[in-house]
Chain A
């Protein structure tokens, strides 16, 4: 480990790449975190699967009755959308406390700041992998037209993760400096849940309110995972939206980290 504090031009990109290049600092530690959390439980992380399953089963039935839509068509839509949303929103909410949570390490040793956020992302991806059991069950059971196109959900998820990483780089800085921010972000995410097509379909909006779904990046970030799975469709427009969202978030996030990475330890 060598450092020269005058090389501020190291910048965010170099630091971000350095973080990506040390997977043992996030992938391995994320794995330990998950094992830690469920150390003495019998079901372990499958508790998350179970509770998500119960929630999706109940809500899926309830909503389909309320919206008077066919359960067989509605449940896969709601299940995939909700599980992907939970992954996105948990990541953003946890990233708010990404640096404060690891204060003890940050104050003792200098690692690239992004390793803490990648660790949280990895944790949430592991949880998501457990929740995928539900998606598989729902898809096999209710059998929408499954074709090879369904695999395109995976690159979609990868793109979604990249966008969430970008968002994490941004919110972590603001939330560390301004301690009211985590609550603001939390509220914002709650609102987003309702104005994003997760429990309702975009078609229910009617033409004059269609913009709510069209100009909502989260709608597209969910659609790129959901459409291949339940409609065997590759959503080109949503992919373009998502690519743009991920690029903007990552570029801004990396720049912001580059500007403030040397101040974060002081703010803790």
Chain B
């Protein structure tokens, strides 16, 4: 676990915008205070530069908070770390297992039962069916939904119950690197305490946390390094 690290050197991430009437889009976006930088590349295609020359190195023990406006590049950064958007140029090396808590209920299906959804969610998190089988009882117990509800389609759940299940599966895996978009909070007061404890434990057992957040309190509480994003550029600020 101590071996895991993230090393980013001069990362550049640009989104091509197809079918855009580029002049008007360019005008309207350039003047905006939020968002990445809009420019057109050599082929006169409109591109949005989401990350611009970003370099940093994360070591075990680093708890990084990403702060900045909407559209400043925080979520894009998380997705780049998750491997979704390979940078257009620059170098990114991520060593260690990653768990992405960006979307807790990704992979879940309303028509499937609670138990089936534990598998569906687990598989999308990168678990093998045998691993999910092992954790099944623990996940079911943590969700407090009970045998009866877990055998019912998830569409019959309240949104709170649905979130509990998603949370229970999503936090069942230990991992070297945890990516999170806003600190997760779930449901009613009593469950929320339990959930907070579990989430803190997942984070403590991980080597590296990267948390994108709009809440300065949360970042202050959880993080020992803070990266501020502005127009896709990154500056490390003291905590």
Contacts and interface: CB of A to CB of B under 8 A. Distances in A.
Q: Do A and B come from one complex?
A: yes
The interface size bin for chain A is: 20 to 34
A266 B85 contact: yes
Given A36-B111, A262-B86, A24 B97 contact: no
Contact of B124 (A3, A36, A109, A266): A109
Interface stretch (B27-35, B87-95, B184-192): B87-95
A61 interface: no
Interface in A28-83: 28-29, 32, 35-36, 39
Given A107-B79, A109-B82, A5 B123 contact: no
Given A1-B98, A36-B112, A108-B102, A6 B93 contact: yes
Nearest to B94: A3
B84 A110 contact: yes
B82 A6 contact: no
B66 to A, nearest CB: 17
Contacts of A1: 83, 97-98, 126
A266 B76 CA distance: 11
Given A28-B123, A28-B129, A108 B93 contact: no
A265 interface: yes
B116 A32 contact: yes
B106 A39 contact: no
B94 A32 contact: no
Contacts of B56: none
B95 A2 contact: yes
Interface in B81-133: 82-87, 91-98, 100, 102-103, 106-107, 109, 111-112, 116, 119-120, 123-126, 128-129
Contact of A24 (B79, B95, B129): B129
Contact of B87 (A5, A36, A105, A108): A5
A247 B18 CA distance: 33
A28 to B, nearest CB: 7
A187 interface: no
A25 interface: yes
A265 B15 CA distance: 10
A70 to B, nearest CB: 46
A105 B107 contact: yes
A32 B103 contact: no
A110 B116 contact: no
A101 interface: no
Contacts of A35: 112
A104 interface: yes
Contact of A6 (B91, B100, B109, B128): B91
Contacts of B94: 2-4
A265 B85 contact: yes
Greatest chain B CB density within 10 A among A5, A29, A104, A266 is at A5
B61 interface: no
Contacts of A3: 83, 92, 94
A110 B97 CA distance: 13
B60 interface: no
B92 A105 contact: no
Nearest to A262: B86
Interface in A104-150: 104-110
B16 interface: yes
A35 B117 CA distance: 13
Given A106-B84, A109-B83, A109-B126, 8 more contacts: A1-B98, A2-B97, A3-B92, A5-B91, A32-B112, A109-B82, A109-B124, A262-B86
Interface of B: 15-16, 18, 79, 82-87, 91-98, 100, 102-103, 106-107, 109, 111-112, 116, 119-120, 123-126, 128-129, 153
5 contacts: A5-B86, A24-B123, A32-B116, A109-B126, A265-B85
